[in-house]
Amino acid sequence: MAAANPHRLTVSENLALSFFWFTSNMQWTALIIIVVPEVVLGMVGASRSGSDMSWLTASGALLASVIQPVIGALSDRSLHPSGRRRPYMVVGVLGTMAALVAMGLAPGFALFLLFYLFLQVFANLASAPYQALIPDVVLFEQRGVASGYMGLMSQAAIIGGVLLPTFFSVRLTFDVLAALQLLGLIVTLVGVPEVPLTDHSPSWHFRAFLKAFWIPPRQHADWWWVFLTRLLVMLGFSTLEYYLYYYLHFVQHLKNPNPMLDQALIAVTLASLLSVLTAGWLSDRFQRRKIMVSLGGLVMGAAALGFVFTKSLTMVTIFALMFGLGYGTYLSTDWALAVDVLPPTNNAAKDMGLWSISQTVAQTAATALAGVFLTFAVVRWGNALAYRGLFVMTFAYFLLGSVLVTRVRKVR
- How far apart, in Å, are the Cα atoms of 380 and each of 228, 376, 377, 383, 394? 32, 6, 5, 9, 20
Residue pair 188/130 in contact (Cβ under 8 Å)? The answer is yes
Give mean pLDDT in consecutive 10-residue pieces for the chain, a chain of 412 residues: 59 88 93 87 78 78 82 79 85 96 92 93 91 76 76 82 87 95 95 70 61 77 88 91 86 87 83 78 72 90 92 91 90 77 69 76 81 88 90 94 87 64
d(CA 22, CA 271): 17
- pLDDT for the residue 411: 66
- pLDDT for the residue 206: 62
Give which of 161, 67, 126, 125 is closest to 360, Cα–Cα.
Answer: 67
- Structural domains in the chain, CATH included, are 11-197+217-407 (1.20.1250.20)
DSSP 208-219: HHHHTT---TTT
What is the 3-state composition of the chain as percent helix, strand, coil, each rounded to the nearest 5? 80, 0, 20
- pLDDT for the residue 1: 39
Q: Which helix (H) or strand (E) holds 401?
A: helix 383-404
- The backbone torsions φ and ψ at residue 410, rounded to the nearest 5 degrees and listed phi first, read -85, -10
Find the distance separating the first CA and the last CA of the chain, reported in whole Å: 30
